[in-house]
Amino acid sequence: MMQEENKTERSIPSTEEQIKAAARRVFTRKGYAATRTRDIAEESGHNLALLNYYFRSKEKLFNIIMMEHLHLFIKDVLGIVNDESTTLPQKLELLVAHYIDMLLANPGVPVFMLHIINTNPDELLNNVASALDTEQLVLVKQWRQFAAAGNVTLKPAHIIMNLLGLTIFPFIASPMIKRKLHVSDQEFIALMTERKQLVPVWMKAILASS
């Protein structure tokens, strides 16, 4: 009986985790600028003084949430780009699928990241740089071998921008897409799921034409 009680206690999120979960929901729903700390407190079911005790400010809470998302994302991406058993085209397919799946599960992340890029780019870059040693990535080594064989003359920056644009931009523009193209939430999810197959095809075509 005691073991069941301890298990139940462990399954209940801490106050800090409850506040962070509530903040994710409110930030996603209202955006950073329109969110008040009072909104987060009400969503979490805790008073404002308790929120301030744990996080001091909306900005600090926002940054903590975004850095947690970033570190989890980088951890997953490293598993893809450092896999020596997959080819460069296979890695592009896996990265596209991972980006889209992550953004379908966390649709507010691109807008959050844009906020950090605009307000505190150094913090973002420092966190990315500390987690990624690009010179040692298997993907980078494969790209150099691919380019050295004369398979591509396109600059790597164009490949990265195309990959990010084709996968992330639709999520950033989703409010406009849904409203102007009369696309429902479920239809948008279906469109993005289709892009998991389409974007790698387009990327391969870009590589082949370069």
CATH code for position 176 = 1.10.357
Q: How many CB atoms lie within 10 A of CB 202?
A: 14
Are 29 and 102 members of one domain? Answer: no
Are 98 and 145 members of one domain? Answer: yes
pTM value is 0.72
Are 70 and 161 members of one domain? Answer: yes
Are 85 and 172 members of one domain? Answer: yes
pLDDT digits (tens, 9 = 90+) for 117-171: 777 777 666 666 555 666 678 888 888 888 888 777 777 778 888 988 999 899 9
Residue 37 CA: distances (Å) to CA of 19, 84, 147:
10, 46, 50
Q: In angstroms, rounded to a whole number, what is the distance separating the alpha carbons of residues 140 and 78? A: 12
Are 203 and 122 members of one domain? Answer: yes
Q: Supply the range of the domain harboring residue 77.
A: 63-209
Average pLDDT, the chain: 83
Q: CA angle, corner 67, sides to 50 and 135, nearest 5?
A: 165
86 pLDDT band (50/70/90 cuts)? very high
Are 83 and 185 members of one domain? Answer: yes
Helix (H, G, I), strand (E, B) or coil at 125: helix
How many domains are contained in the chain? 2
Look up residue 157 and give its two tokens.
């920056």
pLDDT higher than 70, residue 29: yes
Question: Who has greater pLDDT, 101 or 27?
Answer: 101
Are 93 and 170 members of one domain? Answer: yes
* Measured torsion, CA atoms of residues 89, 114, 183, 36, in degrees rounded to the nearest 10: 140
Are 67 and 131 members of one domain? Answer: yes
pLDDT digits (tens, 9 = 90+) for 175-193: 899 999 999 999 999 999 9
Question: Who has greater pLDDT, 75 or 167?
Answer: 167
Q: What is the DSSP letter of 14?
A: P
Are 42 and 67 members of one domain? Answer: no
